[in-house]
Amino acid sequence: MTARQQRRQKQKAERKARKLEQRRQNALGIDVIPTDEGPAARDKTTPASPSRPVSDRKCAANRANAQFSTGPTSIEGKQIVSQNRIRHGLTGNFQVLPDECQADFDRLIETLLDEHEPADATEAEFVQQMAEALWLSRRSVRLQDRCILALRSEDPAEQRAAHKDLALFMRYQTTHDRAFVRYSTELRKRRNERRRIARGFESQKAREAQQARRKVLQLIREAAEIRKQERHEATMRLANAKCERLELLNRASKSAPHPISESKKVAVMAA
């Protein structure tokens, strides 16, 4: 290390030590009087003068003056003051601004309710969120129109502010458009699921009715088959009876002393 580097390192350590000492003295409340007598003179310190206490009369006056700046006390005044920080109303809790029409927003909600016909509280909440998102998107478009008009002005500062606000309002419009699509998609999914369940119940009832009809038809076919079998058995018994009768007649004719004429035999067979 050269002599120059050693000298600079020593000076750096001295400056660091002086800064630490100054911080310690500031923490203790000691004022340092700067002088031009060199580094040794900079270490000379004097105690800081104590601050003057505030009198009771001045404290009372301060308290009395503070009562004039407590803000509005009426409900109407508090509502007005609560809107002081609202610049565009595109974020936070939704509300219709004073320059907007509450009746138009109510008509928008009624139109969406008539269109979607929510079946429960959840679907009604989806419709409410859709109305708010659509209202905020339209508000963003109106603010963008104001920014476009400001961009045509001659003031460069106004143009810069309008350009910055235009990008902000376009981003908010995209956000609210996506919110509208998200809630409408959820509402459509919920309605489709409800319809699918209803169709499932209807198809189940149709299947049960079809199975009942099949059982009835099966019983009818079985009964018809039984009747057919009974008719066949009766026909067979009748045929057997006729054969037995003919056989008895033949035996009787053979055992008789006088043969029976052909006409009588035919009449007997016919009987």
Q: Per residue in 12-71, pLDDT tens? A: 889 988 888 888 777 766 555 544 444 444 444 444 445 667 788 888 888 888 777 666
d(CA 212, CA 205): 10
Q: What is the pLDDT of residue 36?
A: 45
Q: Across residues 191-199, what is the average pLDDT? A: 82
Q: What is the pLDDT of residue 181?
A: 94
* Beta strands at 45-47 and 30-32: parallel, antiparallel or unpaired: antiparallel
d(CA 119, CA 110): 15
The set of residues, in sequence order, having a beta carbon less than 8 Å from that of 18 and lying 6+ positions away, is 39, 42, 43
Q: Which of 22, 55, 26 is nearest to 39 (CA)?
A: 22
> pLDDT at residue 117 above 50?
yes
Say if residue 190 is in the same domain as residue 231.
no
d(CA 13, CA 197): 82
Say if residue 178 is in the same domain as residue 127.
yes
Give percent of the chain with pLDDT exceeding 90: 17
Read off the pTM. Answer: 0.46
Q: What is the pLDDT of residue 91?
A: 77
Say if residue 195 is in the same domain as residue 234.
no
Which residue would you say has higher pLDDT here, 151 or 107?
107
d(CA 118, CA 188): 10
Asked if residue 11 belongs to a domain, the reply is no
Say if residue 166 is in the same domain as residue 188.
yes
Say if residues 86 and 97 touch (Cβ distance below 8 Å): yes
Q: What is the pLDDT of residue 111?
A: 93
Say if residue 232 is in the same domain as residue 189.
no
Q: What is the pLDDT of residue 175?
A: 92
Say if residue 184 is in the same domain as residue 244.
no
Q: What angle do CA 251, 255, 257 make, to 5 degrees?
A: 145
Q: Name the least confident of 16-20, 81-85, 88-92, 210-214.
A: 81-85
| Domain end call among 174, 194, 216 | 216
When the pLDDT of each residue in the chain is averaged and rounded to a whole number, the result is 79
Q: Across residues 85-112, what is the average pLDDT? A: 82
> pLDDT at residue 154 above 60?
yes
> pLDDT at residue 79 above 80?
no
Say if residue 205 is in the same domain as residue 106.
yes
Cα separations in angstroms, 9 against 13, 41, 42, 145: 6, 22, 20, 63
Give percent of the chain with pLDDT exceeding 70: 76
Number of domains in the chain: 2
Residues linked to residue 31 through DSSP beta bridges, in sequence order: 46
Asked if residue 52 belongs to a domain, the reply is no
Asked if residue 138 belongs to a domain, the reply is yes
Q: What is the pLDDT of residue 94?
A: 84
Asked if residue 212 belongs to a domain, the reply is yes
Say if residue 238 is in the same domain as residue 212.
no
d(CA 201, CA 196): 9
d(CA 139, CA 87): 12
Q: Name the least confident of 7-11, 53-57, 80-84, 236-240.
A: 80-84
Asked if residue 8 belongs to a domain, the reply is no
Cα separations in angstroms, 134 against 28, 170, 195, 210, 255: 62, 14, 27, 48, 115
> pLDDT category, 257, cuts 50, 70, 90?
low
d(CA 118, CA 109): 12
Q: What is the pLDDT of residue 179?
A: 93
Q: What is the pLDDT of residue 69?
A: 66
- Could you list the residue range(s) of the whole structural domain that residue 234 is in? 225-270
Q: Across residues 169-183, what is the average pLDDT? A: 92
